[in-house]
């Protein structure tokens, strides 16, 4: 099922996700809805909060041809799309600074600095705990979605100058959220 993406100003985006624990049919259906909604919006990642839910579930689907050439081999073992249930970041390394956007902040993007490599743990759709390491855009997408689950938003990663440059857009999103 395709859901409308919740935008900045909606309270659910500032709520920390609740751990899932056991994977069941409802969680699998939520995962499919995240994938469907993400693909319909032409995004590479989506967290449950972004469709108004509070479970610690997110989905990432980074096309291989979107990665830097040096990252493709490193990320080859991570099958796309990737659903992360109760994910956590275990370690990070390196630095990358790239343009980052968010489906909850339509038409807003900013240069954001993040670790280039992330090692993370998560529960898969079969209820098995997994650990993996990602680099490049996949690493960025995973970190971004885990941020959402921790109620950390794109605007929180922006510098003061970046926030000031999009202040009008942020105000409009907040006003629209109040109307909704």
Q: What amino acid positions are annotated as catalytic residues?
A: 145
Distance CA 110, CA 6 (A): 19
H helical segments located in 41-166: 69-75, 136-149, 154-157, 160-165
Of 142, 133, 137, 129, which is closest to residue 58 (Cα–Cα)? 142
Structure tokens at 45: 């990642």
Give the rounded distance of the alpha carbon of 15 from its chain centre: 15
Distance CA 99, CA 84 (A): 23
Q: Which letter does DSSP use for residue 66 in this model?
A: G
If one counts every other C-beta atom within 10 angstroms of the C-beta of residue 45, the result is 26
Distance CA 121, CA 133 (A): 9
Strand partners, 55: 18
């Amino acid at each position: 099922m395709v859901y409308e993406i919740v935008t900045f100003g909606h309270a659910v985006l500032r709520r920390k996700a609740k751990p899932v624990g056991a994977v069941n049919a409802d969680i699998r259906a939520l995962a499919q809805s995240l994938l469907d909604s993400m693909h319909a919006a032409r995004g590479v990642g989506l967290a449950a909060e972004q469709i108004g839910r509070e479970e610690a579930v997110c989905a990432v689907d980074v096309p291989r041809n979107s990665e830097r050439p040096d990252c493709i081999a490193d990320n080859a073992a991570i099958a796309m799309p990737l659903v992360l249930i109760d994910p956590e970041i275990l370690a990070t390394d390196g630095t990358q600074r790239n343009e980052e956007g968010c489906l909850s902040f339509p038409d807003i993007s900013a240069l954001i600095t993040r670790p280039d490599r992330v090692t993370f743990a998560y529960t898969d759709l079969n209820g098995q705990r997994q650990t993996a390491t990602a680099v490049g855009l996949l690493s960025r997408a995973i970190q971004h979605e885990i941020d959402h689950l921790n109620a950390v938003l794109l605007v929180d990663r922006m510098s003061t100058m970046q926030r000031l440059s999009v202040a009008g857009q942020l105000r409009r999103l907040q006003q629209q959220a109040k109307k909704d």
